[in-house]
């Protein structure tokens, strides 16, 4: 699937993403509890492209993404990714979130609107097809990055 095909799919099938548009090459910031799996794979895998795509944003603890042609969610600003990352200090909920800087060839940006179940409603997000990520850098734990900056 191309980025334009994905944009068309969102418009037709996933109404919780408003005002989607195509973004040219750039960078985005992604938080995850699965940085080790990404490093082991040597690449990103994404969430399945289907009408319930937005539901992956609701999970406090997520499972590693498995779709080679799936979607990776990111934010335009490091600050936003750090603030949106769930802090998971309870061992049963999993490790703390790492933030990664993603370099992408193209992406879709959209405002995630919902029934209020998603914190950060109204924040414009990047939805990047996994095969559009050229490379990435692990920046560190979200909480540690917040402590370094005066956001």
Check: CB of residue 110 under 8 Å from CB of residue 118: no
Number of domains in the chain: 1
Helix (H) or strand (E) holding 39: helix 35-41
Tens digits of pLDDT across the chain (151 residues): 999 999 999 999 988 888 899 999 999 999 888 888 898 988 889 989 998 887 766 655 667 787 889 999 999 999 988 888 766 554 444 457 889 999 999 999 998 876 444 454 568 899 999 999 999 999 988 878 777 776 6
Q: In a 10 Å sphere around its CB, with 0-12 CB exposed, 13-18 middle and 19+ buried, how is residue 105 labelled?
A: middle
């Amino acid at each position: 699937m191309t980025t334009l095909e994905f944009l068309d799919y969102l418009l037709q099938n996933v109404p919780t993403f408003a005002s989607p548009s195509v973004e040219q090459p750039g960078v985005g910031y992604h938080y995850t509890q699965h940085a080790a799996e990404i490093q082991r794979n040597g690449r990103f895998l994404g969430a399945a492209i289907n009408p319930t795509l937005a539901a992956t944003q609701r999970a406090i603890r997520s499972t590693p993404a498995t779709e080679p042609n799936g979607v990776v969610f990111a934010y335009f600003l490091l600050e936003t990714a750090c603030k949106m990352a769930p802090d998971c200090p309870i061992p049963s909920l999993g490790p703390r979130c790492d933030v990664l800087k993603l370099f992408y060839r193209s992406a879709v940006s959209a405002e995630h609107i919902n029934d209020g179940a998603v914190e950060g409603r109204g924040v414009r997000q990047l939805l990047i097809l996994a095969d559009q990520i050229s490379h990435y850098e692990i920046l560190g734990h979200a909480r540690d990055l917040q402590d370094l900056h005066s956001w």
